[in-house]
A and B are shown apart, each in its own frame.
Chain A
Amino acid sequence: MPWPTGSATPSASSAPGNSRPDFGVDGDVMQLQSMYQEMILDHYRNPHHQGLREPFDAEVHHVNPVCGDEVTMRVTLKDVDGEPAVEDVSYDALGCSISQASASVLSDLVIGKPVSEAMRVSQAFLELMQSRGEIDPDEDLLEDAVAFAGVSRYPARIKCALLGWMAWKDATARAMEVGQ
Chain B
Amino acid sequence: MNSFPEHLDVETIRADFPVLARTVRNGNPLVYLDSGATSHKPVQVLDAERSFYELHNSAAHRGTHLLGEEATDVYEGARRKTAAFLNAQPEELVFTKNATEAINLVAYSMSNATALGGPEQLRVLPGDEILITEMEHHANLVPWQQLCERTGATLRWLTVTSDGRLDLDRLDGMITGRTKIVAVTHQSNVTGTIPPVAEIARAAHEKGALVLVDAAQSVPHQPVDVAALGADFLAFSGHKMLGPYGIGVLFGRAGLLEAMPPFLTGGSMIEVVRMEGSTFLPPPQRFEPGVPAVAEAAGLAAAVDYLNGLGMGNVAAHEESLTAHALDALREINGVRILGPDTTKDRGGAVAFEVDGVHPHDVGQVLDELGIAVRTGHHCAWPLHRALGVQASTRATFYVYNTHAEVDALADGIRYAQRFFGARQ
Q: Indicate the size class of the contact surface on chain A.
A: 35 or more
- Assess A27 versus B26: contact at CB under 8 Å? Given A32-B420, A68-B382, A96-B359: yes
Within 8 A of A (CB), among B356-377: 359-362, 365-366, 369-372, 376-377
Contact string against A for B residues 19-45, beta-carbon threshold 8 Å, 1 for contact and 0 otherwise: 000000111110100000000000000
Q: Is the CB of B378 within 8 A of A68?
A: yes
A130 adjacent to chain B (CB < 8 Å)? no
Q: Is the CB of B409 within 8 A of A157?
A: no
Smallest CB–CB gap between B139 and chain A, Å? 15
- Assess A66 versus B403: contact at CB under 8 Å? Given A12-B408, A24-B27: no
A32 contact set on B, CB distance < 8 A:
365-366, 369, 420
A13 contact set on B, CB distance < 8 A:
1
B424 contact set on A, CB distance < 8 A:
none
Q: A99 to B366, alpha carbons, bound, how many Å?
A: 16
Q: Is the CB of B419 within 8 A of A4?
A: yes
Q: Is the CB of B378 within 8 A of A21?
A: no
A142 contact set on B, CB distance < 8 A:
none
Question: How many residues on chain B are close to A (CB under 8 Å)?
Answer: 43
Q: A164 to B2, alpha carbons, bound, how many Å?
A: 47
- Of listed B28, B366, B370, B415, residue having the most chain A CB within 10 A: B370
A80 adjacent to chain B (CB < 8 Å)? no
A180 adjacent to chain B (CB < 8 Å)? no
Count of A-B contacts with CB under 8 A? 111
B406 contact set on A, CB distance < 8 A:
18, 21
B80 adjacent to chain A (CB < 8 Å)? no
Within 8 A of A (CB), among B365-402: 365-366, 369-372, 376-378, 382, 385, 391-392
- Assess A94 versus B391: contact at CB under 8 Å? Given A2-B421, A28-B369: yes
Q: Is the CB of A67 within 8 A of B404?
A: no
3 A-B pairs closest in CB distance: A96-B361, A18-B405, A67-B377
Chain B residues with CB under 8 Å of chain A are 1-4, 10-11, 25-29, 31, 359-362, 365-366, 369-372, 376-378, 382, 385, 391-392, 403-406, 408-409, 412-413, 415-416, 419-422
Task: Give 29 CB contacts A-B under 8 Å.
Answer: A2-B420, A4-B419, A10-B408, A10-B409, A13-B1, A15-B1, A15-B2, A15-B3, A15-B408, A17-B11, A18-B10, A18-B406, A20-B405, A21-B372, A23-B370, A23-B413, A24-B27, A24-B28, A36-B362, A66-B377, A67-B376, A68-B377, A68-B391, A69-B361, A69-B392, A96-B362, A97-B359, A97-B362, A157-B365
Chain A residues with CB under 8 Å of chain B are 2-4, 7-8, 10, 12-21, 23-24, 27-28, 31-32, 35-36, 41, 66-69, 94-99, 154, 157, 160
* 15 additional A-B residue pairs with CB within 8 Å, beyond A31-B26, A69-B391, A95-B361: A2-B422, A4-B416, A8-B415, A10-B409, A14-B405, A18-B403, A18-B405, A20-B409, A27-B27, A36-B420, A67-B377, A96-B362, A97-B361, A97-B362, A97-B421
